[in-house]
Chains A and B, each alone.
Chain A
Amino acid sequence: MPSLIDLVLEGRNIQQHHPWPRVVVDAQIWQFAASELAYGRWTLVGLWGEPSTVHMAIMDGDATAVVSLDCPDRVYPCVAKHHPPALRLERAINDLFGLSAQGLPDARPWLDHNRWGVRSPLGNRIDAPATTSPYRFLPTEGDGLHQIAVGPVHAGIIEPGHFRFTASGETVVRLEQRLGYTHKGIEGLMRGAGIERAAQLAGRVSGDSTVAYAYAFSKAAEAALQLQVPDRAVWLRALLAELERLANHLGDIGAICNDASFGLMQAHCNVLREDILRAANTAFGHRLMRDVIVPGGLVRDLDEEGKASIAAVLDNLHVRFPALIELYDNTASLQDRTVDTGIVTTALAKQYGAGGYVGRASGRTFDARRAPGYPPYGDLRFEVPVLDDGDVNARVWIRIREVEQSLSLVRQIMERLPGGPSNVPIAAVAGAREGMALVEGFRGDILVWLRLDGGRVDRCHLRDPSWFQWPLLEAAIENNIVADFPLCNKSFNCSYSGQDL
């Protein structure tokens, strides 16, 4: 059976692509790759377009590669036909670039709500027709079924999206999501942007992961330019990433319990979250640490005051968090809601290559910090918690364990933080250079792929972990009661803005 490495040898290798290979293949090899994904031997990591090319990022064990297919006729062999996780990505490629996957099982638009005034805005732009046909939701048939339409404006303070439930009494028989409401055209704005502006945009793809996105974008740009950042920057970046993970996980643990009507937990978790944001503000000048990581390093170094504020928060968390774990573990009425609710099977998590707590609560061991891995994590001690239950409870426990791991990581980083400069200047390099990066955000692995040309971004694709988690929510809610949807949804906490772009 050929491995991904063998496949890479078959294609035409692109020289200036780092750190993993990219090869241009023919339709036959493209289809072979799709079938390997379908058999579950490889994992789909990303699928994106260009005006007349489609790219697919694949992992095979520890090996990662991008295969590219030129499609001058604006059609290419469909991947989703064999491997459903590619479906929404292929619908998005059609919306943005006008490239159609032959045999796509669901040809409805995804991001394009027929409001832009143009079709295929990133490909061969054409004016959109004035008449709009309504979006057709999947049919549901059966006695006594009724539909519940929710969104895009929701009851809580959350992002916009539409959920169409079909219920039989209290039980959900189908959930269909419709997203794309927050589509801002970020990849369009990236085109031709200078590196600084592009980094700023990357940090605004998903506000809760602003550090992780800036981190991934910067690593991809540095890979393209073959730029080595100073050791201190490498360690500081990990510090920011772990602080972001801590703040988000604490917020999530509280919010999940609150959606099970246990407000006490949220009150406590949100105090701890606020403490972290305030320390981040003292240390890095911004509560969410936005625009701190840039290609070349960081715009701001950590001083003694910042160090002291982070250390104080760590000490407080060490004292306060164990009591909250005990509270979660010993409250039977809360467990009654979270245990056995919203189950994602290990098979589905594997098929979709679901990252983050969604994958790790369903038996998937993947963590981008481990494999493919990136510094400084190779020098740090940490465990990747994994459970098999796949329910809301498991997703809470993964977060709890990851809070503990991140606390330890922050402490290790603070103790061993190397000296020296925290950034290097970046110089524009002539000619096209391509780079990619995979960074573990709090939600899962974020992929950034880009091509720079003379100091400007020619094309940049940013793939949020939510692409491979949203569809699993549709599966998880099936046969649960409608009233448990907020609980399930919060336990996923997928990004709308990140997947809508």
Chain B
Amino acid sequence: MRKLLFQNFFRGPLTERAPALDEAAVEELATALQRAARRRLGRSLSIREIDAGSCNGCELEIHALSNAYYDVERFGIRFVASPRHADVLLVTGPVTKNMSDALERTYRATPDPKWVIALGDCARDGGCFAGSYAVVGGVSQIVPVDLHIPGCPPPPVTILQGLLSLLDRTAKNVAST
């Protein structure tokens, strides 16, 4: 183990520069944050991820955010184990009817102020599963959504852009109060 750690010491970091903000996401967030972001979040976001019936593709790319290339924690973004600790709910999937209750209850368990990000094409409107007897069709059918991050699944850079937009807007709103 020591040899491996030693080698890494000289290998240099793999972590890449932060991506530029996604303008469309910044636009969408403007409204959401004027409404709610009066209280200081600082530059930190705690995220509770909820799989509301996804195929698991989105989860794989959310996981990738924590690898050495993206290293999401350097931005103050953390994934937390409980909705009680969360600022943001990151929701994937078309919202199956079997998960709609759990989604709603998790939302209610999250303290204010809170934001909901719908991640992936099915989270927007059910995507290719829309119209099924077992699917509600989109996160906004159950809880209010502040930001959509499109893709099937969205690659980590796109997810990161969306999350950084949220931090950026929050910081600006705080500065203007």
Interface residues of A (CB under 8 A from B): 113, 115-118, 121, 152-153, 155-160, 180-186, 188-189, 197, 200-201, 204-208, 210, 251, 264, 267-268, 270-271, 273-274, 277, 281, 287-288, 290, 323, 327, 330-331, 495-497
Contact = CB atoms under 8 A, between A and B. Distances in A.
22 contacts: A115-B101, A121-B133, A152-B102, A153-B102, A155-B82, A157-B62, A159-B51, A180-B98, A184-B94, A184-B134, A185-B132, A185-B133, A185-B135, A186-B132, A188-B132, A207-B60, A207-B153, A251-B60, A270-B67, A274-B67, A497-B55, A497-B56
Given A115-B98, A180-B98, A189 B55 contact: no
A330 B98 contact: no
Contact of A208 (B60, B100, B152): B60
A208 B59 CA distance: 9
Contacts of A197: 128
Given A160-B99, A270-B68, A155 B81 contact: yes
Contacts of B52: 160
B16 to A, nearest CB: 11
Contacts of A181: 53, 96, 98-99, 102
A327 B96 contact: no
Contacts of B1: 264, 327, 330-331
A267 B68 contact: yes
B64 A274 contact: yes
B98 A270 contact: no
Interface string B30-73: 00000000000000000001111111111111111011110000
Nearest to A118: B133
Interface of B: 1, 3-5, 14, 49-64, 66-69, 79, 81-83, 93-94, 96-102, 106, 128-129, 131-135, 152-153, 155
Contacts of A180: 98
A77 to B, nearest CB: 29
A208 B64 contact: no
A474 B97 CA distance: 26
A341 to B, nearest CB: 21
Given A157-B79, A183-B96, 10 more contacts: A157-B51, A181-B53, A181-B96, A181-B102, A182-B99, A189-B129, A287-B155, A288-B60, A331-B1, A497-B53
A271 B69 contact: yes
Contacts of A271: 14, 67-69
Contacts of A281: 155
Contact of A158 (B59, B94, B153): B59
A153 B132 contact: no
Given A156-B81, A188-B132, A200-B128, A208 B98 contact: no
A184 B56 contact: no
Contact of A288 (B57, B68, B129): B57
B117 to A, nearest CB: 14
Contacts of A210: 55, 57
Contacts of B51: 157-160, 182
Contact of B49 (A157, A201, A496): A157
A182 B135 CA distance: 9
B60 A189 contact: no
A387 to B, nearest CB: 24
Contacts of A200: 128
A-B pairs with lowest CB-CB distance, top 8: A207-B57, A185-B134, A155-B81, A185-B132, A270-B67, A207-B56, A207-B55, A115-B97
A273 B14 CA distance: 14
A147 B79 CA distance: 27
A495 B55 CA distance: 9
Contacts of A331: 1
Nearest to A288: B57
Contact of B59 (A155, A157, A274): A157
B133 A116 contact: yes
Contacts of B14: 271
B109 to A, nearest CB: 9
Contacts of A267: 67-68
B133 A117 contact: yes
A204 B57 contact: yes
Given A155-B82, A270-B68, A277-B64, A185 B99 contact: no
B56 A270 contact: no
Nearest to B69: A274
B130 to A, nearest CB: 9
B69 A323 contact: no
A40 to B, nearest CB: 33
Contacts of A153: 50, 83, 102, 106
A159 B52 CA distance: 8
Contacts of B4: 264, 268, 323, 327
Contact of B57 (A155, A189, A290): A290
A41 B153 CA distance: 43
A210 B94 CA distance: 17
A201 B132 CA distance: 12
Contact of B53 (A158, A184, A206, A327): A184
Given A121-B134, A288-B60, A495-B56, A184 B69 contact: no
Nearest to B103: A153
